[in-house]
Amino acid sequence: MSGEQILSGKRKQTPWSYRASFGLSLMALAFALGVGVYFSVTTGGTLPGIAIQEQADIPLLLQEPDQKVAIEQIRLLLTILGPGTVANEAELRIKLGELLLNEREFDEAIVHLNRALELDPQANGVHNNLGAAYLNKQEPAKAVSEFEQELRVNPENPQASINLGRLLEKQDRLDEAATYFERAAGSELPLVEPHLSLGKVYWQQGKPELAAAHLKRALQLDPQNAQANNNLGNIYAQQEKLDLALTHYRQALKLNPYYALAHNNIGLILQQQGKLDEAASHFQQALKLDPSFADAYNNLTRSTQPQQGP
């Protein structure tokens, strides 16, 4: 997410004047409501690879679509009224933590999320979000601890299972990762991610039938999922079912025209079928989309080399 500030055509206030005028209006509103202040904000971003959870049930008082402004509003409210004086302080700090995670302000997010747990130790999703913060701070041991604690507090939280599974998968602990992905896949929620992850893990473990079953389930839940089509194509290619593999690779590319990996995979199938010019075209498209794609470069080199006779 960019930190660039977008200025409107309105008269620009100084930071001090903005804080003062806003703070006074919040103070007046708080006292008018007997300090029973509720607050609602919306988030606008996600962390790459790790999902945080939003608390969607905070009663409405203010609604601010600009994430950076929302952060300042909650900071001001908590500063002006002080700890222990705001109704629903835990929810406010949880929401502030979420917003700060989206802005990659991990240290401050951790402070507010921990304070929220002091107020409400059973709060859903908070340990999960702390795990996301620690993972982004390159502290995987703390991240694992928080994801595990989330599952102790809220055993039915599928997002914590997914995040823990992803982390274990990166550590090549595939059996453990599969256990957590299966746990998430068994959730009542129709989640695509655990099935995608199980398709990948089981394929890595040499279990193509299990992998295919989960990828097909992912496509039942999300027929527009390019990754599921590409990965299912990999399984069929490995089984030498080239026409089926090509069908899924082409579908992946139809769903995502910028999918360099699908271009490369189509090229590999065409190369095996002796269609070298068409294969070379797909390798070139893959490199156009991702100039650092070494496999596509090597495959293009092979497809354009003069073929030697017997």
Of the ranges 68-77, 261-270, 291-300, which one carries the lowest mean pLDDT score? 68-77
Pairing of strands 40-41, 63-64: parallel
Report d(CA 238, CA 254) in Å as an integer.
22
Q: Is the dihedral of CA 197, 200, 201, 202 positive or negative?
A: positive
pLDDT of residue 62: 44
pLDDT of residue 64: 62
Top CATH class, 156-222: mainly alpha
Query: Tell me, what amino acid is at 231?
Result: N
Cα–Cα distances in angstroms (integers) from residue 252 to residues 192, 195, 249, 258, in the given order: 16, 17, 5, 10
**Per-residue tokens: 280:** 């070379």
pLDDT tens digits along 147-182: 999 999 999 899 999 999 999 999 999 999 999 999
pLDDT of residue 128: 94
Phi and psi at 50, nearest 5°, equal -125, 135
Report d(CA 210, CA 300) in Å as an integer.
32
Global model pTM greater than 0.75:
no
pLDDT of residue 14: 27
H/E run at residue 242: helix 242-255
DSSP conformation class of 14: P
pLDDT tens digits along 77-86: 888 776 666 6
Closest to 69 in 3D by CA, of 29, 25, 26, 99: 99
Residue scoring higher pLDDT (67 or 49): 67
Rounded mean pLDDT, 215-235:
97
- DSSP secondary structure of 134-158: HHHTT-HHHHHHHHHHHHHH-TT-H
Mean pLDDT comparison of 60-64, 90-94, 120-124, 277-281, highest-scoring range:
277-281
**Per-residue tokens: 167:** 């982390």
Identify the CATH assignment for 50-154 out of 3.90.400.10, 3.40.30.10, 1.25.40.10, 3.20.20.70.
Answer: 1.25.40.10
User: At which residue do the structure tokens 């795990």 appear?
Assistant: 131
Q: Where in the chain is the domain with CATH 1.25.40.10?
A: 50-154, 156-222, 224-305
When the pLDDT of each residue in the chain is averaged and rounded to a whole number, the result is: 81
The fold of the 224-305 domain, in CATH, is 1.25.40
